[in-house]
């Protein structure tokens, strides 16, 4: 390597400094949820073709890192957002349930794509007709597969839930907001039960 | 039918003169060199015929490409219900042969081919799982796609496409139970 060793002499002004009291102000103002919503760590439960789109969302073009959710963790104990991308077979449902149970509170679930939300075209004995029959789902992302933008909108919907719901755990949240995403990126509330 | 397959058929008929092999092309209307041949073997003679096909130097079917099953329930002109189908390939002689073995309810049973081709192991488990055809002499005949205790054999034609409620049969997890 020919490159000269980097010197930091005389470049003191280039360092970025953050004032700690600004950070504390942010936390005071928005609470822990401000931090939490911007660091959702997803568990990619990608069982089928939707998983490919999920990878696309993680890659540089759509870049889920802009929402602080790029840290895909494959152990449920480190995740707070379960993205179920793809159809769930009858043998897989107990696995999915166990993964959900192992995630630490607070946790959210995105049901990505037609298959995870309703079984899609796979109306057969072997495919679960919508994971929400057996799991609490927070956000349904429509599409087959959903465009990356749609999934990002889903992540943003979860962020809004986090913001609104406070630091209550999902046990305290009841069945959750049950939000859905509209093309106009509006937040629509379709169920208000169990919200205080 | 190519010459080598012709030789296989002759060899079979010489070795098992009492068996009616019902030699027929698998698909009609192919050019003779593309044509693949299907023979029928009764389940009682299957083990011997398979061993012969593997060992005889005119046959030499070293490879079992596939082992599957067809349910001929309500099939026009079908006389038996399950057709266990073997696709054989000889790598040294370069020819193929299809073997069909028909079995019926109740208790469809076929001798296992695992003693000849190790690869038959999982294929036979799949046929057992999906069609309920038992393979006698199989070292480990468990279900392979569905779980142990699954109540049906789902690829049978009389099994409904949407199942008999297996896909609805789970514990429901609520927010407060998780
Ligand atoms: S919704 Fe479409 S893309 Fe997604 S898993 Fe189902 S079939 Fe595949």
Q: Is the pLDDT of residue B72 over 70?
A: yes
User: By percentage, how much of chain B surpasses pLDDT 70?
Assistant: 98
Q: Do B163 and A173 touch (CB under 8 A)?
A: no
Mean pLDDT of A106-112: 90
**Chain B interface, mutation test: which of A43, A80, A90, most B Cβ atoms within 10 Å?**
A90
Six-digit token string for B35? 């044509």
Which pair of tokens denotes residue B15? Answer: 């070795």
φ and ψ of A11, to 5 deg: -115, 30
Distances in Å between the Cα of B130 and the Cα atoms of A70, B56, B57 are 41, 32, 35
Sign of the Cα torsion B90, B91, B95, B98 reads positive
DSSP character string of B86-137: EEEE-TTT--EEEEEEEE-SSS-EEE--TTT-TTHHHHHHHHHHHH--EEET
Residue B142 lies in a domain: no
Angle formed by the axes of helices A50-58 and A148-165, nearest 10°: 70
Q: Is B72 a member of any domain?
A: yes
Query: Which chain A residue lies closest to B170 (C-alpha atoms)?
Result: A134
- pLDDT for B32 beyond 60: yes
Ligand 1 binding pocket mutation candidate from A44, A49, A141 (most atoms within 8 A of CB): A49
pLDDT tens profile A24-37: 666 666 667 778 88
Q: Which protein residues touch ligand 1 with a CB less than 6 Å away? A: A 48-50, 86-87, 113-115, 120, 144-145
**What is the tens place of the pLDDT at every residue in B113-131?**
999 999 999 999 999 999 9
In a domain, residue B176? The reply is: no
pLDDT over 50 (residue A183)? no
Q: Which residues form the domain of B96?
A: 3-136
pLDDT grade for A184, boundaries at 50, 70 and 90: very low
Residue B18 counted as domain residue: yes
| CATH at B123 | 3.30.460.80
Segment B125-143 shows an average pLDDT of 92
Q: What is the rounded distance in angstroms from the CA atom of residue B127 to the CA atom of residue B74?
A: 20
List the beta bridge partners of residue B39. B99
Residues in B closer than 8 angstroms to A130, CB to CB, are: none
B49: closest CA among B91, B107, B8, B106? Answer: B8
pLDDT tens profile A124-154 = 988 999 998 888 999 999 999 999 999 999 9
Q: Name the residue of chain B whose CA is nearest to A100's CA.
A: B178
Please give the tally of structural domains in chain B.
Answer: 1
- Taking the CA atoms of residue A163, residue A169, residue A171 and residue A175 in that order, the dihedral angle to the nearest 10 degrees is 20
Sort residue B34 into left (φ over 0), alpha (ψ -120 to 50) or beta: alpha
φ and ψ of A146, to 5 deg: -65, 145
Determine which of B5-9, B74-78, B149-153, B168-172 has the lowest per-residue pLDDT on average. B168-172
Predicted local distance difference test score (pLDDT) of residue A36 = 84
**Mind listing the pLDDT tens digit for each residue in A160-176?**
888 877 665 555 555 54
Query: With an 8 Å Cβ cutoff, is A59 touching chain B?
Result: no
Q: Is residue B167 part of a domain?
A: no
Structural domain includes residue B122:
yes
pLDDT digits (tens, 9 = 90+) for B102-116: 998 888 999 999 999
The tokens describing B54, both together, are 């593997």
Q: Which of residues 108-147 of A touch B (CB under 8 A)?
A: 123-129, 133-136
Cα B35–Cα B135–Cα B57 angle in degrees, nearest 5: 45
Calculate mean pLDDT across residues B75-88.
90
- The pick from A144, A147, A148, A150 for probing ligand 1's pocket by mutation, whose C-beta has the most ligand atoms within 8 angstroms, reads A144
B175/A174 CB distance under 8 A: yes
Q: How far is the CA of A195 from the centre of ligand 1 (A)?
A: 32
Q: Over 90: is that where the pLDDT of B82 sits?
A: yes
Number of CB pairs < 8 Å for A and B? 59
Q: Tell me the residue length of chain B.
A: 178
- Answer yes or no: is B71 within a domain: yes
Residue B145 is assigned to a structural domain of this protein: no
Per-residue model confidence as pLDDT tens digits over A2-20: 555 555 555 555 555 566 6
**Ranges A48-62, A93-107, A153-167, A181-195: which has the least confidence:** A181-195
């Amino acid at each position: 390597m020919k490159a000269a060793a980097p010197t930091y002499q005389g470049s003191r002004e280039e360092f970025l400094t953050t004032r700690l009291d600004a950070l504390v102000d942010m936390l005071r103002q928005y609470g822990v949820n401000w931090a939490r919503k911007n660091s959702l760590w997803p568990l990619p439960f990608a069982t089928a073709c939707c998983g490919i789109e999920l990878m696309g969302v993680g890659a540089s073009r759509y870049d889920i890192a802009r929402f602080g959710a790029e840290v895909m963790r494959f152990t449920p104990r480190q995740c707070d957002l379960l993205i179920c991308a793809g159809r769930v077979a009858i043998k897989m449902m107990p696995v999915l349930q166990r993964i959900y149970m192992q995630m630490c509170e607070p946790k959210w679930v995105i049901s990505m794509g037609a298959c995870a939300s309703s079984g899609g075209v796979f109306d057969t004995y072997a495919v679960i007709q919508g994971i929400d029959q057996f799991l609490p789902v927070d956000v349904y992302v429509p599409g087959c597969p959903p465009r990356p933008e749609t999934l990002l909108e889903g992540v943003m919907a979860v962020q809004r839930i986090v913001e609104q719901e406070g630091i209550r755990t999902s046990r305290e949240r009841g069945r959750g907001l049950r939000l859905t995403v509209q093309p106009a990126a509006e937040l629509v509330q379709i169920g208000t039960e169990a919200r205080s | 039918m190519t010459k080598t397959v012709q030789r296989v058929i002759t060899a079979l008929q010489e070795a098992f003169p009492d068996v009616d092999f019902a030699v027929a092309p698998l698909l009609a209307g192919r050019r003779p060199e593309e044509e693949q041949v299907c023979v029928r073997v009764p389940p009682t003679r299957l083990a011997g015929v398979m061993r012969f096909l593997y060992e005889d130097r005119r046959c030499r079917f070293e490879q079992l490409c596939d082992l599957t099953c067809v349910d001929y329930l309500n099939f026009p002109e079908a006389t038996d219900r399950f057709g266990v189908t073997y696709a054989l390939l000889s790598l040294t002689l370069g020819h193929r042969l299809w073997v069909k073995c028909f079995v019926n309810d109740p208790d469809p049973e076929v001798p296992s081919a695992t003693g000849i081709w190790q690869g038959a192991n999982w294929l036979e488990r799949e046929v057992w799982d999906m069609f309920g055809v038992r393979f006698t002499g199989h070292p480990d005949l468990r279900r392979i796609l569905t779980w142990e205790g699954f109540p049906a054999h789902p690829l049978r034609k009389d099994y409904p496409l949407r199942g008999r409620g297996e896909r609805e049969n789970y514990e429901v997890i609520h927010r407060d139970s998780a």
